[in-house]
Amino acid sequence: MAGDAARRAWTCHGGFSVAGVPNGGYIMATIAKAAVAAAEASGAAGADPVALSAFFLRPAEAGAEYELNVETLKAAKRMSTHSVRATRAAPVEGALPAAPTVQATVTLGTAASPPTPGLSSPTAGAMPVLPPPEQCESIFGVYGGLSSPSAFPIALRNDARFDPAFVSRVARAVEARKEAGAIPGQGSGFASDLPLSYDCWLRFPPLLVGAEAAGAGAIDGSADARSVPGAARAPYRGLDALSLLFFSDSLPPPALLGVLPGITWVPTIEMSVQVRGEPTPGGWLVLRHSTRFVTDGWLEADTELWDAETGRLVGLGRQMAMLMGLPGQAA
């Protein structure tokens, strides 16, 4: 990104796409970075996102140029609130501006300085229990082409590890649906033996080092070593408040697991994320992703993000989305 604090240029990277459509978590992290830059330039409070609500008005386009326009709505002592609009850049000077792609409101604070340290109610739940990460495995291979960089490149941006028993359960359901004649792009109901929820370990994968990393598109400007044959590996990128925005929407929604291969696209309409704490920089997250209600293709997807080292809840997300057939269908 480049430009002044209130208006920043952004090239939408294709390395965070699902079937060609850039992912909402990547977009939210990018928008939050623009708000942080504006706050720093103006002297407004807040170095970390505390809350973000975004409306995805149109699908973003990989490789396209966008303008991120930031307006400060409130600047208080501890926090500041900003409106951020992502709009496709005008193709020529003086052309009419395009319709907005994303409209968001971002509240900034400091993740390491909560308002009242130690004041916490007994939680209604606890961090999900999983086998150790080294005993868990990826779920993406279950879906064949969805694990390939060309069709599902965002899979390379996640080191997500699932209980092997759950992976086997999903694989059996997918095979059963294929044998029953489910056709990609045509909704055909849910697999009756799959829950609309899952838990997993989650962190960033190893990064590229050296010149290959420049402009490669990770939310910190680096790339995944698995995407370039023979690339050197660097230590795992540390977790921070921005990464919680990305991980709140970086994996398939749980309802998708029950309908594949009948459904191939689940566009997000609106999403809100709360940052409840600072994650351990070099550690793992434990994610719980769940849906309670699917109504004629409408669904909500809730995300819990737990710091695996401390057992503390560090992020919450909720989105409204649609189960649809193919990317490009009108929303």
DSSP string spanning 98-125?
Answer: PPEEEEEEEEEE-TTS-SSTT--PPPSS
Q: What is the b/e burial string over 81-114, where b = at least 16 CB atoms within 10 angstroms of the residue's CB?
A: bbebbbbbeeeeeeeeeeebbbbbbbbbbebeee
Determine the pLDDT at residue 234: 46
- Output DSSP code: residue 211: G
Determine the pLDDT at residue 252: 84
Task: Categorize the per-residue pLDDT at 2 as very low, low, confident or very high, splitting at 50, 70 and 90.
Answer: very low
Distance, CA of 68 to CA of 210 (rounded, Å): 29
Q: Is residue 62 part of a domain?
A: yes
Domain that holds residue 153: 129-204+239-331
CATH code of residue 196: 2.40.160.210
End-of-domain residue from the set 75, 110, 145: 110
Tell me: the pLDDT tens digits for 203-225? 988 764 433 333 334 444 334 43
End-of-domain residue from the set 81, 110, 139: 110
What phi and psi values does residue 59 have, to the nearest 5 degrees? -65, 135
Read off the pLDDT of each residue in 256-268 and give the average, rounded to a whole number.
Answer: 71
Mean pLDDT of the chain: 80
Q: Supply the pTM of this predicted model.
A: 0.85
Determine the pLDDT at residue 205: 84
Domain tally for the chain? 2
N- to C-terminal Cα distance for the chain? Answer: 28
Read off the pLDDT of each residue in 225-235 and give the average, rounded to a whole number.
Answer: 42
Do 258 and 190 contact (CB within 8 A), yes or no?
yes
Task: Categorize the per-residue pLDDT at 105 as very low, low, confident or very high, splitting at 50, 70 and 90.
Answer: very high
Residue percentage of the chain with pLDDT more than 70: 74
Read off the pLDDT of each residue in 127-132 and give the average, rounded to a whole number.
Answer: 96
CA 111 and chain centroid, separation? 19
Kindly give the residue spans of alpha helices, DSSP state H, lying in the chain. Answer: 24-42, 164-179, 241-247, 254-259
Minimum mean pLDDT range among 197-211, 235-249, 296-310? 197-211
Distance, CA of 119 to CA of 7 (rounded, Å): 38
Residues 7, 138 within the same domain: no
Q: Is residue 230 part of a domain?
A: no
Do 76 and 17 contact (CB within 8 A), yes or no?
no
Q: Is residue 219 part of a domain?
A: no
Task: Categorize the per-residue pLDDT at 325 as very low, low, confident or very high, splitting at 50, 70 and 90.
Answer: low
Residues 80, 148 within the same domain: no
Task: Categorize the per-residue pLDDT at 296 as very low, low, confident or very high, splitting at 50, 70 and 90.
Answer: confident
CATH code of residue 11: 3.10.129.10
Q: Is residue 115 part of a domain?
A: no
Angle, CA 154 vertex, CA 233 and CA 212 arms, to 5°: 35
Do 222 and 204 contact (CB within 8 A), yes or no?
no
